[in-house]
Amino acid sequence: MTLPTHARTVIIGGGVIGCSIAYHLAREGRKDIVVLERSKLTSGTTWHAAGLVRRLRPSATLTKLINYSIELYGELERETSQATGWIQTGSLTLATNEDRMTNIKRQVSLGRAFGLEAHVVDAVRAKELWPLIETDDVIGAVWSPADGRVNPSDVALALSKGARARGVRIFEDTRVTGLRQKGGRISGVEIGDHVIETEEVVIACGLWSREVAALAGAHMPLYACEHFYILTKPLSEIQTLGPGIHLPTLNDQDSHLYARDDVEGLLVGSFEPHAKGLPLDRLPADFSFDLLDEDWDHFMPMMENALRRIPALEKAEVRMLLNGPESFSLDSQFMLGESPEVPGLFLMGGMNSTGIALAGGAGKAMAEWIIEGEPTMELNEADIRRFGPEMNVLGALEARIPEVLGRHYDNPYPGRAMETARGQRRSPIHAGLVAAGARFESRGGWERPVHFGGDDAHLPLTFGVPVWRQQVGREVEACRSGAAILDQSAFGKIMVQGPDACAFLNRLCTAQMDILPGRIAYSQILNMRGGVESDITVQRHGPESYLMIVGAGEVVRDLKRMRETKGGFRVEFTDLTSGYAILGLAGLEARSVLQATSNTQIPDLKRFGFVQIEIGLARGWAGRLSFTGEEGFEIYVPADMGLAAHEALVAAGATHAGLFASGSLRIESGFRAFGHELSPGTTPQEAGLGDFCAFGTGFVGEDALKHHVQERQIISILFNSPNAIPIHDEPIYFDGKAVGQITSAAWSYKFGRSVALALISAPHEQLASQTVIEGFEVEIACTRYPVRASLKPAKEAFA
Ligand X SMILES: Cc1cc2nc3c(=O)[nH]c(=O)nc-3n(C[C@H](O)[C@H](O)[C@H](O)COP(=O)(O)OP(=O)(O)OC[C@H]3O[C@@H](n4cnc5c(N)ncnc54)[C@H](O)[C@@H]3O)c2cc1C
Asked if 260 interacts with ligand X (CB under 6 A), we say no
**Pairing mode of beta strands 753-761, 737-748:** antiparallel
- Residue 203 or 618 with smaller CB distance to ligand X: 203
Q: Smallest distance, Å, CB 43 to ligand X?
A: 5
Distance CA 220, CA 211 (A): 8
Asked if 277 interacts with ligand X (CB under 6 A), we say no
Asked if 335 interacts with ligand X (CB under 6 A), we say no
Output the 3-class SS for 83-132: CCCCECCCEEEEECCHHHHHHHHHHHHHHHHCCCCCEEECHHHHHHHCCC
Asked if 251 interacts with ligand X (CB under 6 A), we say no
- Residue 282 or 315 with smaller CB distance to ligand X: 282
- Residue 287 or 610 with smaller CB distance to ligand X: 287
Q: Which of 61, 91, 153, 353 binds ligand X (CB under 6 A)?
A: 353
Asked if 665 interacts with ligand X (CB under 6 A), we say no
Interior/surface letters 489-503, b for 16+ CB within 10 angstroms, e for the rest? bbbbbbbbbbebbbb
Window contacting ligand X (CB under 6 A); options: 3-11, 345-353, 386-394, 646-654: 345-353
Asked if 13 interacts with ligand X (CB under 6 A), we say yes
Window contacting ligand X (CB under 6 A); options: 322-330, 374-382, 529-537, 741-749: 322-330
Q: Smallest distance, Å, CB 478 to ligand X?
A: 46
Window contacting ligand X (CB under 6 A); options: 23-31, 47-55, 117-125, 733-741: 47-55
Interior/surface letters 152-181, b for 16+ CB within 10 angstroms, e for the rest? bbbbbbbbbbbbbebebbbbeebbbeebbe
DSSP reduced 3-state for 66: helix
Give the DSSP letter string of 24-45.
HHHHTT--SEEEE-SSSTTTTT
Q: Smallest distance, Å, CB 270 to ligand X?
A: 10
Q: Do 791 and 768 form a contact (C-beta atoms < 8 A)?
A: yes
Distance CA 683, CA 68 (A): 25
As a residue count, the chain comes to 799
- Residue 268 or 689 with smaller CB distance to ligand X: 268
Window contacting ligand X (CB under 6 A); options: 36-44, 389-397, 609-617, 624-632: 36-44
Span 185-244, contacts to ligand X by CB under 6 A: 204-206, 208, 212, 227, 229
Asked if 52 interacts with ligand X (CB under 6 A), we say yes
Under rule CB under 6 A, how many of the chain's residues touch ligand X?
A: 40
Q: Which of 43, 61, 93, 524 binds ligand X (CB under 6 A)?
A: 43
Q: Smallest distance, Å, CB 226 to ligand X?
A: 8
Q: Smallest distance, Å, CB 301 to ligand X?
A: 17
- Residue 359 or 644 with smaller CB distance to ligand X: 359
Cα–Cα distances (Å) from 692 to 152, 512, 763, 794, in that order, read 49, 8, 20, 20
User: Helices H, strands E: what count in the chain?
Assistant: 20, 38
What string marks each residue from 151 to 190 as x (binds ligand X by CB under 6 A) or -? Answer: -x----------------------xx--------------
State whether the Cα torsion 461-466-471-476 is positive or negative: positive
Strands in 532-542's sheet, in edge-to-edge order, are 520-526, 532-542, 545-550, 492-497, 572-575
Window contacting ligand X (CB under 6 A); options: 110-118, 351-359, 443-451, 586-594: 351-359
Window contacting ligand X (CB under 6 A); options: 354-362, 400-408, 465-473, 557-565: 354-362
Q: Smallest distance, Å, CB 66 to ligand X?
A: 9
Q: Do 265 and 235 form a contact (C-beta atoms < 8 A)?
A: yes
Asked if 18 interacts with ligand X (CB under 6 A), we say yes
What values do phi and psi take at 672, rounded to 5?
Answer: -85, 150
Window contacting ligand X (CB under 6 A); options: 88-96, 123-131, 319-327, 367-375: 319-327
Give the DSSP letter string of 595-637.
HHT-SS----PPTTBEEEEEETTEEEEEES--SSSSSEEEEEE
Window contacting ligand X (CB under 6 A); options: 239-247, 346-354, 570-578, 582-590: 346-354
What string marks each residue from 376 to 395 as x (binds ligand X by CB under 6 A) or -? Answer: --------------------
Distance CA 569, CA 658 (A): 40
Distance CA 670, CA 483 (A): 21
- Residue 401 or 594 with smaller CB distance to ligand X: 401
Q: Smallest distance, Å, CB 482 to ligand X?
A: 50
Structure-derived torsion over alpha carbons of residues 502, 619, 554, 200, reported in degrees to the nearest 10? 60
Window contacting ligand X (CB under 6 A); options: 32-40, 89-97, 373-381, 491-499: 32-40
Distance CA 467, CA 456 (A): 10
- Residue 91 or 655 with smaller CB distance to ligand X: 91
Which candidate, 530, 198, 496, places its Cα nearest to that of 344? Answer: 198
Q: Which of 45, 103, 488, 655 binds ligand X (CB under 6 A)?
A: 45
On the CB side of 58, CA atoms within 13 Å amount to: 15
Asked if 16 interacts with ligand X (CB under 6 A), we say yes
What string marks each residue from 512 to 531 as x (binds ligand X by CB under 6 A) or -? Answer: --------------------
Q: What residue type is 187 in one-letter code?
A: S
- Residue 65 or 661 with smaller CB distance to ligand X: 65
Cβ neighbours of 71 (radius 10 Å): 12
Q: Which of 93, 198, 270, 354 binds ligand X (CB under 6 A)?
A: 354
Q: Do 594 and 615 form a contact (C-beta atoms < 8 A)?
A: yes
Window contacting ligand X (CB under 6 A); options: 45-53, 128-136, 647-655, 768-776: 45-53
Asked if 15 interacts with ligand X (CB under 6 A), we say yes
- Residue 189 or 494 with smaller CB distance to ligand X: 189
Asked if 360 interacts with ligand X (CB under 6 A), we say no
What string marks each residue from 567 to 606 as x (binds ligand X by CB under 6 A) or -? Answer: ----------------------------------------
Q: Do 295 and 189 form a contact (C-beta atoms < 8 A)?
A: no
Angle at 15 (CA atoms; ends 9, 18), nearest 5 degrees: 25
Asked if 349 interacts with ligand X (CB under 6 A), we say yes
Alpha-carbon Rg for the chain, nearest whole angstrom, is: 27
Q: Smallest distance, Å, CB 634 to ligand X?
A: 42
Q: Which of 27, 39, 74, 77 binds ligand X (CB under 6 A)?
A: 39
Q: Which of 162, 188, 248, 324 binds ligand X (CB under 6 A)?
A: 324
Q: Smallest distance, Å, CB 643 to ligand X?
A: 44
Q: Which of 351, 513, 635, 645 binds ligand X (CB under 6 A)?
A: 351
Q: Which of 9, 10, 14, 116 binds ligand X (CB under 6 A)?
A: 14
Q: Do 65 and 348 form a contact (C-beta atoms < 8 A)?
A: no
Sequence-distant (6+) residues with CB within 8 A of 281 are: none
Structure-derived torsion over alpha carbons of residues 587, 593, 598, 603, reported in degrees to the nearest 10? 50
Distance CA 70, CA 52 (A): 11
Q: Do 327 and 207 form a contact (C-beta atoms < 8 A)?
A: yes
Q: Smallest distance, Å, CB 191 to ligand X?
A: 8
Asked if 44 interacts with ligand X (CB under 6 A), we say yes
Which ranges of 130-272 does DSSP label H, i.e. alpha helix? 152-165, 209-214, 236-239
Q: Smallest distance, Å, CB 664 to ligand X?
A: 37
Q: Report the interface residues with ligand X, using CB under 6 A.
A: 12-18, 36-39, 43-46, 48-52, 152, 175-176, 204-206, 208, 212, 227, 229, 322, 324, 326, 349, 351, 353-357
